[in-house]
A and B are shown apart, each in its own frame.
Chain A
Amino acid sequence: MIKNVSDVDMIIGMQNVGIRYGQGAEVLSDINLDLKRGSFHFLTGKSGAGKTSLLSMMYLSQKASRGIVKIFGRNVTYADRDSLALLRRKIGVVFQDFRLLEHMSSFDNVALPLRVCGMDEKEVRKRVTELLQWVELDKKIKEPASTLSGGEKQRVAIARAVINRPEILLADEPTGNVDSDIAYKLMKLFVELNKLGTTVVIATHSEKLITDFAYPRLHLENKGLKIYRPVRDIHLAQGDDR
């Protein structure tokens, strides 16, 4: 069957999506979203606005209470467990609370997505060592995650999210626990991945990041979603040549 163009271009799509926990009121209502392949977005909103809920639907941890969620053009509402697992392998996630396996080393944590896919151990060793060097954790390669500082854990979490070159990268406050130099370096990594074709969504409270990296913003407010284009784009659209 030939898919239509919009399905091919659309990597994350939501139509009238609502999400509620238990019998409570909806946390998010009537979310409509169409993220194209290779796009880069910030996700903003006050604490409790539903950023983590929206991200969790994107990384297939949470099912929508209503509406249609399409990931890689596929309606995931009725996807079986094995299919969801295969889709998740193409999504890299950086969690706000890192979600590392505390009893395992930095190396094993970063190697996890590759091992889950059944990659050859030699290749795993090569890739993980390189990436840990890049995030300046090569000296902590054998350290259990439980002994790492907050910033180090965050870098391990980011390395784990990008190790298998995901098609979608979702990050929840990825620079929250690192100093500005490392934050900038990590953002450059996300930008580089984006240039290679990875679709990136970064949830953040940092206005500085949003200003420094001019990408569209998905803003959650009053349970709904608004999309703001970066100021530079607006100026360009209006013919402003500043």
Chain B
Amino acid sequence: MTKEIINSRKQEVPLQDDNSNVFLQVMVCIAVFLFGVTLAGVLSVNAMLNAWNESILGALTVQIMPVVENNQDAARAETLRQQSKALEILNEWPGVEKAVPLSDKQLNRLIQPWLGDGVDVSDLPTPRLIDVKVKKGMQINFMKLAEKLSKDVPLASLDDHKVWLDKLIRFADSLRLLAMVVLVLVVVVTSGAIFYCTQTSLGLHRQVIEILHLMGAKDTYVAQQYARKTSFLGLMGGVYGLVLAIPTIFMIAGLAKQIEGGIVSETTLSLADWGIIFSLPLFSSLMAMITAYYTVKHTLVKFM
């Protein structure tokens, strides 16, 4: 059907004069804009999830809670002693490639979004963190390690980032669901608009269509003219929607970057993701074409 429609160039039904053309383009523009932005959101969360998954897989964090007492120097010394003990256990643990404590500078950078610049963590009872890298292909007995640490280093706790990851997965799932809802709504509303605009147009051009029928035109001949025109409108509406969606995606990405504050890694869309987003006008064009084609075929049965 698509090939026939593209090859056919005759346009006896004067569809270019229809008032509904602008309305259809605006509808498709809004649809593609909404779906484009939502899709970009889903794809970037997926990308973020993958990046997290890769960095988290094979990494653990051990947290040493600070010792609190009046003598700050003694408390700090005890905290560091516990950190050394934990490092000792970790570096000897089977499967651990290396365990490295985060420096004061790194800790400062982590708490900077909350406490601002110019705060020295060494003056505060902040937890110490140890970054543990697991050997490639090795698995650590997480339960046993946690047990050993809690026994020998009571202030230590082990975090395998699962909680964070689970939350992110739940967020990504919700976003995917939202995208599906948006997609369904967008398709239903746009198809509905195309259906009613096409029916109105058929009524408007009834005399021309009857002449075509009298000359021996099949319903398909008329349907192809509608499909071709509506496909073009769908394409143009889609391009306008995309032109609006792209700066919006960059704007949202910029805002997200500001609020990330180093908690999550920066998200970027891959070339393939952009490929999907840029193909949306083609999708809208195809959808418009199919809807118009079958609307005409369905409606012309009531004609001469």
A residues in contact (CB < 8 Å) with B: 59, 61, 81-82, 85-86, 88-89, 93, 99-101, 103-104, 108, 112-113, 115-117, 160
Contacts A/B (CB < 8 Å), 8 sampled = A61-B210, A81-B219, A81-B300, A82-B218, A86-B216, A88-B216, A101-B211, A112-B12
Contacts of B217 in A (CB 8 A): 85, 116
Q: Is B124 positioned at the interface, with any CB of A under 8 Å from its CB?
A: no
- Select A88's contact among B10, B12, B215, beta carbons within 8 Å: B215
Contacts of A115 in B (CB 8 A): 10
Min CB distance, B191 to chain A, in Å? 24
Contacts of B207 in A (CB 8 A): 99
Residues of B249-299 at the interface with A, using a CB-CB cut-off of 8 Å, are none
B residues in contact (CB < 8 Å) with A: 10, 12, 14, 207-208, 210-219, 221, 300-301, 304
Docked Cα-Cα span, A89 to B208, in Å, equals 17
- Select A104's contact among B12, B210, B301, beta carbons within 8 Å: B12
Q: Are A112 and B212 in contact (CB under 8 A)?
A: yes
Q: Are A101 and B213 in contact (CB under 8 A)?
A: no
Contacts of B208 in A (CB 8 A): 101
Docked Cα-Cα span, A86 to B214, in Å, equals 10
- Select A85's contact among B10, B210, B218, beta carbons within 8 Å: B218
Q: Evaluate whether A108 and B218 lie within 8 angstroms (CB atoms) in the complex, with A85-B213, A101-B211 already known.
A: no
Look across to chain A and name the residue whose beta carbon is closest to the beta carbon of B301.
A81
- Select B216's contact among A101, A103, A104, A117, beta carbons within 8 Å: A117
Min CB distance, B33 to chain A, in Å? 34
Q: A61-B214, A113-B216 are in contact. List 11 more A-B contacts (CB 8 A).
A: A61-B210, A81-B218, A82-B219, A88-B213, A88-B214, A88-B215, A89-B215, A108-B12, A112-B215, A115-B10, A116-B217
Docked Cα-Cα span, A99 to B206, in Å, equals 12
Min CB distance, A57 to chain B, in Å? 12
Docked Cα-Cα span, A189 to B217, in Å, equals 25
Contacts of B301 in A (CB 8 A): 81
Contacts of A113 in B (CB 8 A): 215-216
Look across to chain A and name the residue whose beta carbon is closest to the beta carbon of B212.
A116
Min CB distance, A105 to chain B, in Å? 11
The 9 A-B pairs of least Cβ separation, nearest first, read: A89-B216, A88-B216, A85-B218, A116-B217, A113-B215, A116-B215, A103-B14, A112-B215, A116-B216
Contacts of B210 in A (CB 8 A): 61
Q: Are A116 and B304 in contact (CB under 8 A)?
A: no
Look across to chain B and name the residue whose beta carbon is closest to the beta carbon of A63.
B304
Contacts of A101 in B (CB 8 A): 12, 208, 211
> Which of B216, B218, B221 is most buried by chain A, counting CB atoms within 10 A of its CB?
B216
Look across to chain B and name the residue whose beta carbon is closest to the beta carbon of A61.
B304
Docked Cα-Cα span, A103 to B16, in Å, equals 12
Contacts of A160 in B (CB 8 A): 215
Contacts of A85 in B (CB 8 A): 213, 216-219
Min CB distance, B1 to chain A, in Å? 15
Q: Evaluate whether A93 and B214 lie within 8 angstroms (CB atoms) in the complex, with A81-B301, A112-B12, A115-B10 already known.
A: yes
Contacts of B300 in A (CB 8 A): 81
Contacts of A59 in B (CB 8 A): 214
Contacts of B215 in A (CB 8 A): 88-89, 112-113, 116, 160
Q: Evaluate whether A99 and B214 lie within 8 angstroms (CB atoms) in the complex, with A61-B304, A81-B301, A116-B221 already known.
A: yes
Docked Cα-Cα span, A225 to B218, in Å, equals 32
Contacts of A108 in B (CB 8 A): 12
Min CB distance, A76 to chain B, in Å? 13
Docked Cα-Cα span, A113 to B213, in Å, equals 10
Contacts of B218 in A (CB 8 A): 81-82, 85-86
Look across to chain B and name the residue whose beta carbon is closest to the beta carbon of A98.
B211
Docked Cα-Cα span, A230 to B218, in Å, equals 39
Contacts of B10 in A (CB 8 A): 115
Min CB distance, A82 to chain B, in Å? 5
Min CB distance, B298 to chain A, in Å? 12
